[in-house]
Amino acid sequence: MDSLIKFTNQSQGRDRIFRAAQYACALSVYLLRNNAHSKELVNKLKSLESHMSAGRKLFRLGNTAHAIAAAKRSLLLPDRVLRLCLTVANLNRALYFICDNALWARNVGLIRNMDKERWSWNSSRFYFYSLIMSLIRDVYDILVLMVHDARDKRVKEKMEKHVNESREVAEAVFPPLDAFIFLLLHTLKSHPAVALDTLKNICDLFLPLDKLGIYQSNAGVVGFCGLISSLIGIVTLTQPDLKIKP
């Protein structure tokens, strides 16, 4: 399993580049959909998007083992909230990859007697559950960091100064709310890894929401959100300091 996990880690970069290209094509197709002079370009972009999607499924063949190994590691975390969130998130990711691999096998003809629509729906459902748990983890991290920053004397001084300087606005809104927003923004700015992970998960959430019919958006929103989350994934892969831990 260790060799398989090492191989899938090496393919993460290629998968994220393919993912960014796939959603860039989807966004471009949406923006050019009403342009009569771009029909040929739109068809080419649709074909490229399809090829990118197929290529990504090939890169993800070993990710189930990686997700299971991540779930095992998360069981050892001392923090109970992080242990619960990450374990459930990783187990759902493993189930998502199993469905994804089965769909890939169906597309290439290795499996024939299979309800493609049902497996695709289950794939989106497990992906949705994984993202929800990841977002809960992000919110928990942000709250813990905000409590820590609130106890810092320098941060408290900056917060009091901000509230005093904008007293008219604070009184018009609500002083505690103004202080909370200041502390939240300060925390996100001071901890970019948490901010990027939160933004990435929020963007990714639009993808299963659309497929499951929970929140119907359009191809433009899906393409834009997928592109943003893919670019964040590339950044965190090239800059490990910006990747949330654990």
CA of residue 225 relative to chain centroid, distance: 9
The number of domains in the chain is: 1
28 inside domain: yes
8 inside domain: yes
Mean pLDDT of 51-78: 89
164 inside domain: no
114 Ramachandran zone, left/alpha/beta (phi>0; psi -120 to 50): beta
- 84-133 per-position pLDDT tens digit: 999 999 999 999 999 999 998 888 888 888 888 999 999 999 999 999 99
Per the prediction, the chain carries an average pLDDT of 88
161 inside domain: no
Dihedral (CA of 43, 20, 102, 104) sign:
positive
Q: Whole domain around residue 87: which residue ranges?
A: 2-151+191-242
21 inside domain: yes
219 inside domain: yes
Query: Which residue type, as a one-letter code, is found at position 160?
Result: E
Query: Would you state the pLDDT for residue 172?
Result: 47
| CA–CA dist 62, 37 (Å, integer) | 42
186 inside domain: no
Q: Which of 132, 244, 228 is nearest to 188 (CA)?
A: 244
- 28-48 per-position pLDDT tens digit: 999 998 888 888 999 999 999
99 inside domain: yes
